[in-house]
Amino acid sequence: MLHLWGRLNSINVRKVVWAAQELGLTLQRTDAGGQHGIVREPHFLQRNPNGLVPLLEDGDVRLWESNVIVRYLCARYAPGTLCPEPMGARFAAEQWMDWQQTSFNPAARPAFMQLVRVPEEQRQPAVIEQSIQAIEPLLDLLDQHLAQHAYLGGAAFTMADIPVGCEIHRWRQLPIEQPPRPNLERWYAALNSRQAAKGVLTFVCT
């Protein structure tokens, strides 16, 4: 049985849960990180010296880093579907997964932290505005791509849609103006309609 360590209010843990649900996998989950602790305990650090969640155990395989875990699950349990087999299609999906981690998340995280984690009286409006200004062109890029493609990887849902979908879900929950982007909204609605996304894209980010 797959064993996942991590709390569900972590965006990175939700990625893995969503992937497992798409694949119909049975997943045992242990709350860890944040208020649950565990991640600095020796038994956890032996499994994941990085001391963060998520951590996945699949038999003798132990993996951390959320997008790597999503790639692994899709490559092992859904080759040719969620993980495309043609090299071009696979790496087209992987580039969006990397984009989520290297471009979108660093731009969005300051606003999220200020608006969700920082008490209102301590918030820094300039930090929030800078984050919004960094995100807007990325959302435009995403909307333009989705004008030509049903999903990030092309005509079909793939592993690429999971991390970016989780990131967009968290951004759209923030109490800020959300300019209309019809292609992004159509895609996001399609993600929300997926049975496997229930409990992930309905989760309030904290």
Reply yes or no on whether the pLDDT at 206 is more than 70: no
DSSP secondary structure string for all residues of 11-57? HHHHHHHHHHHHHT--EEEE--SGGG--TTSHHHHHH-TT--S-EEE
Q: In the CATH scheme, what is the code of domain 2-77?
A: 3.40.30.10
The neighbour count for residue 66, using CB atoms within 10 Å, is 27
Specify the pLDDT at position 121: 97
Cα 154 from chain centroid? 19
The helix/strand/coil state of 125 is: helix
Instruction: Kindly report the backbone phi and psi dihedral angles of residue 198, in degrees, each rounded to the nearest multiple of 5, phi listed first.
Output: -65, 135
Per-residue pLDDT band at 1 (split at 50, 70, 90) = confident
| Helix (H) and strand (E) counts in the chain | 8, 4
Q: Which residue has the tokens 């309905």?
A: 202
CA-to-CA separations, 71 to 78, 79, 166, in angstroms, rounded: 10, 10, 15
Mean pLDDT along residues 42-57? 96
Reply yes or no on whether the pLDDT at 203 is more than 80: no
Picking from 139, 137, 151, 152, the residue whose alpha carbon sits closest to that of residue 181 is: 139
The string of pLDDT tens digits covering residues 81-122 is 999 999 999 999 999 999 999 999 999 999 999 999 999 999
The string of pLDDT tens digits covering residues 122-133 is 999 999 999 999
Domain ranges of the chain: 2-77, 87-197
State how far the Cα of 58 lies from the Cα of 56, in Å rounded to an integer. Answer: 6
* Assigned architecture for domain 87-197: Up-down Bundle (1.20)
Extract the tokens encoding 74.
């899709």
- What one-character DSSP code corresponds to residue 193? T
The pTM of the whole model exceeds 0.75? yes
User: Which residues, in sequence order, are bridge partners of residue 58?
Assistant: 61
